[in-house]
Chains A and B, each alone.
Chain A
Amino acid sequence: MLKYLSFKLIIQLLVNGILFGTMYGIAAIGLSLVFGTMRIIFLSQGTIIIFLAYICYWLFTLFGIDPYLSLVIVIPISLFLGMGFYQGLFREAAALEDKNISLLIAVGLMFLVENLMTVFWTANPRSLQTTYTSLVFRPFDIGIPFNRLIGLFMAVLSTAGVVLFLKKTLIGMAVRAASEDMVSATLMGISPHRVNAVAFAIGIGLAGVAGVGLATIYPFDPFYGFIFALKAMISLAIGGIGSVSGALLGGIILGLLESLASFFISGGWSDAVSYAIFLIVLMFKPEGLFVRSVKKA
């Protein structure tokens, strides 16, 4: 195997990993926001991403809407869906001390959605092909697939958008404050329901971006969502809860690790490696690698 090892190959693996890792990253940001404000682990994130990927797919297959343009439809749907999930499912559970209840609701939602999709759309993997999805740029003879590159752009843009929102708007500031100390935030007059709903909406909005990205890059089926959610959580564990850029970075790192692992280790084991990394990070540094401990004021 060493015969085939070359600098170019490594770069190729790295590029692949980074480009796909951004998908994990934005899914992780969504998870981070929901966890930050409500301390809920939204396990259904991956499955919702798949659902939105299906929407993108059907918009293209049935109506010929270009997947990237479909963002204009998918993102508003996602935002509403996010708010809907909060109001309908998690609103009361978020206030409870026993976080297992919301965890189980998330599990139930995942189960529900992935099987609904199987019933309506079968379990066959789908993938999207447009005239340009197979386009590959070759700078320095390293293949950069067009669709993955766009995926990267979308990820970076949406991350920037979220960061700006959190930094510059009052409600964004409120979300950050509530993530740190909800009780204190209420003492400022901030309504927990409002920040929670916003966090959820953004979380699912990002899922929409990830869904479109995934639809154009990788074949997907209803049950892939669970695995994707686990990967997003691994990314979050690596990158640290509470940091938006950390989450994105965590996703990229995971993408890199997976890309390298799947080349050097055979098929299924690379997944096991990801899960093992997950366990290790969980056990030894649950706050993630990027979050520096801040002195509590």
Chain B
Amino acid sequence: MKDKKTIILTGLVIIAFAIVPFFLDVNTSYIGYFLFLSFCYTIIAQGWNLVAGYTGQVSLGQHAFFGLGAYTTAIVWLRDITKTGYYFDPVTMTLSGLVPVILAIIIGIPLLSRLRGDYFALGTLGVGEIIKVAFVKGGAFTGASDGLHLPSTIFESMKPYYWTGLFLALFATAVVYFLIRSRVGLALRAIREDETSAASHGIHILKYKILAFAVGAFLTGLSGSLFAYYLFHINPDAVLKLDWTLYPILMCVMGGSGTVIGPVIGTFFMNALLAITDIYFVQVHPIVAGVLIILVMKFMPRGLVGVIDTIKSRG
């Protein structure tokens, strides 16, 4: 399906994104911030896409992984654990992706082996809340409810943020793309279609569910790390709020979960909608998100990709 035309098109789009900072002053323009935020959301959305869209396990606890990633970055940096001293330190970021993976495996094993569907979703919600409490109560280590403050004097320009964000968003999309096309992807989709049937074909259900969950957690943690470098003040309210789960879910679903390009389209589309409503009335943001989730679920549960498909097959 990935013919020459699509590859060229994708390449052009990537180049277009990459050269934006040369045309716009990313430091001051709102579009710069908008794109950066969209990259952050895209990463999380792709992570959720893998777990829920392709494997059929709806998780409502992604914000726990996001927060963990953010806090890991903050703690590692503040305590100079990696001793590398870089700003956007790849080692730190990778660590920030791995810590959530540990959590994903720890809670994934009991939750995914025992809970199906709705119950699993509720379980992840519960975990998310527990993590939030844990960080608020973490004392000096996590900065309690005030959180951790990173030295913001380092901030010079949005450009590294933009390109790192773009890179990670591409990375996340690529991970999903290649994973889905592999044997792993086949297994995941089989699980989503019919677990019992998949099991009877010898697919180790739990192993693959945890794999998807862990990869999703890794990506989400990366996004948290990226955002931590931007936010500088890491506190529970900012990085552990349910929004970090809900918005990406909405964006993924709006674009079309279970597709590679869906979360990308959905994120940019949704974020644009939210940004536009922001112009008129700042607090309307979450209300619009809420209304949109309802509308999308009611009228186009297959997302924009689904709508495009339907139009194509009718045309």
What is the distance, in angstroms, from A14's C-beta to the closest C-beta of chain B?
Answer: 24
Instruction: Determine, out of A101-109, A128-136, A152-160, A243-251, the stretch whose residues face the partner at the interface.
Output: A101-109
Known: A112-B291, A119-B283. 16 other contacts (CB 8 A): A93-B297, A108-B292, A112-B286, A112-B290, A112-B294, A115-B285, A115-B286, A116-B287, A230-B129, A266-B137, A268-B133, A268-B137, A279-B111, A282-B114, A283-B111, A283-B123
> Once bound together, how far apart are the Cα atoms of A66 and B134, in whole Å?
41
> Once bound together, how far apart are the Cα atoms of A99 and B111, in whole Å?
18
What total of chain A residues lie within 8 Å of the partner, measured CB to CB? 41
Ranked nearest first, the 10 interchain pairs of A and B with the lowest CB-CB distance are A112-B290, A108-B293, A111-B290, A115-B286, A272-B133, A108-B294, A275-B126, A115-B287, A100-B58, A283-B114
Q: Mark B275-305, 1 if CB is under 8 A from A, else 0.
A: 0000000011111011111100110010000
What is the distance, in angstroms, from A104's C-beta to the closest C-beta of chain B?
Answer: 5
> Once bound together, how far apart are the Cα atoms of A16 and B134, in whole Å?
26
> Once bound together, how far apart are the Cα atoms of A118 and B286, in whole Å?
10
* With A108-B290, A111-B286, A272-B134: A99-B117 Cβ-Cβ less than 8 Å: yes
The answer to the question of A92 belonging to the interface, with a C-beta cut-off of 8 Å to chain B, is: yes
Question: Which partner residue on chain A sits nearest B128 by CB separation?
Answer: A275
> Once bound together, how far apart are the Cα atoms of A105 and B299, in whole Å?
11
Contact of A101 among B119, B292, B301 (CB under 8 A): B301
Find out whether the CB atom of A279 lies under 8 angstroms from the CB atom of B253. Answer: no
Contact of A283 among B115, B118, B283, B289 (CB under 8 A): B115
The answer to the question of B175 belonging to the interface, with a C-beta cut-off of 8 Å to chain A, is: no
> Once bound together, how far apart are the Cα atoms of A102 and B121, in whole Å?
12
Find out whether the CB atom of A41 lies under 8 angstroms from the CB atom of B118. Answer: yes
Find out whether the CB atom of B291 lies under 8 angstroms from the CB atom of A276. Answer: no
A-B contact pairs, 21 of them (CB 8 A): A41-B121, A98-B301, A103-B118, A104-B249, A104-B253, A104-B297, A105-B293, A105-B294, A107-B246, A108-B291, A108-B297, A109-B290, A111-B246, A113-B290, A115-B287, A118-B283, A226-B242, A268-B133, A269-B137, A275-B129, A286-B115
What is the distance, in angstroms, from A271's C-beta to the closest C-beta of chain B?
Answer: 6
CB-defined contacts of A108 to chain B, threshold 8 Å: 250, 289-294, 297
Question: Which partner residue on chain A sits nearest B294 by CB separation?
Answer: A108
Contact of B122 among A115, A272, A276, A282 (CB under 8 A): A282
What is the distance, in angstroms, from B65's C-beta to the closest C-beta of chain A?
Answer: 17
* With A118-B283, A283-B110: A41-B293 Cβ-Cβ less than 8 Å: no
The answer to the question of B52 belonging to the interface, with a C-beta cut-off of 8 Å to chain A, is: yes
Q: Mark A74-118, 1 if CB is under 8 A from B, else 0.
A: 000000000000000100110000111111110111111101101
> Once bound together, how far apart are the Cα atoms of A112 and B288, in whole Å?
7
Residues of A within 8 A of B (CB): 39, 41, 89, 92-93, 98-105, 107-113, 115-116, 118-119, 226-227, 230, 233, 266, 268-269, 271-272, 275-276, 278-279, 282-284, 286
CB-defined contacts of B58 to chain A, threshold 8 Å: 100, 103
Question: Which partner residue on chain B sits nearest A118 by CB separation?
Answer: B283
* With A111-B293, A116-B287: A279-B133 Cβ-Cβ less than 8 Å: no
CB-defined contacts of B246 to chain A, threshold 8 Å: 107, 111
CB-defined contacts of A286 to chain B, threshold 8 Å: 115, 119
What is the distance, in angstroms, from B243's C-beta to the closest C-beta of chain A?
Answer: 9
Contact of B52 among A93, A100, A275, A282 (CB under 8 A): A100
Find out whether the CB atom of A269 lies under 8 angstroms from the CB atom of B133. Answer: yes
Find out whether the CB atom of B114 lies under 8 angstroms from the CB atom of A101. Answer: no
CB-defined contacts of A118 to chain B, threshold 8 Å: 283
Find out whether the CB atom of B52 lies under 8 angstroms from the CB atom of A230. Answer: no
CB-defined contacts of B114 to chain A, threshold 8 Å: 282-284
Question: Which partner residue on chain B sits nearest A116 by CB separation?
Answer: B287
Contact of A279 among B126, B136, B287 (CB under 8 A): B126
The answer to the question of B31 belonging to the interface, with a C-beta cut-off of 8 Å to chain A, is: no
Question: Which partner residue on chain A sits nearest B118 by CB separation?
Answer: A41
What is the distance, in angstroms, from A93's C-beta to the closest C-beta of chain B?
Answer: 7
The answer to the question of B91 belonging to the interface, with a C-beta cut-off of 8 Å to chain A, is: no
* With A113-B290, A115-B287: A100-B133 Cβ-Cβ less than 8 Å: no
Find out whether the CB atom of B127 lies under 8 angstroms from the CB atom of A112. Answer: no
The answer to the question of B125 belonging to the interface, with a C-beta cut-off of 8 Å to chain A, is: yes
Find out whether the CB atom of B287 lies under 8 angstroms from the CB atom of A275. Answer: no
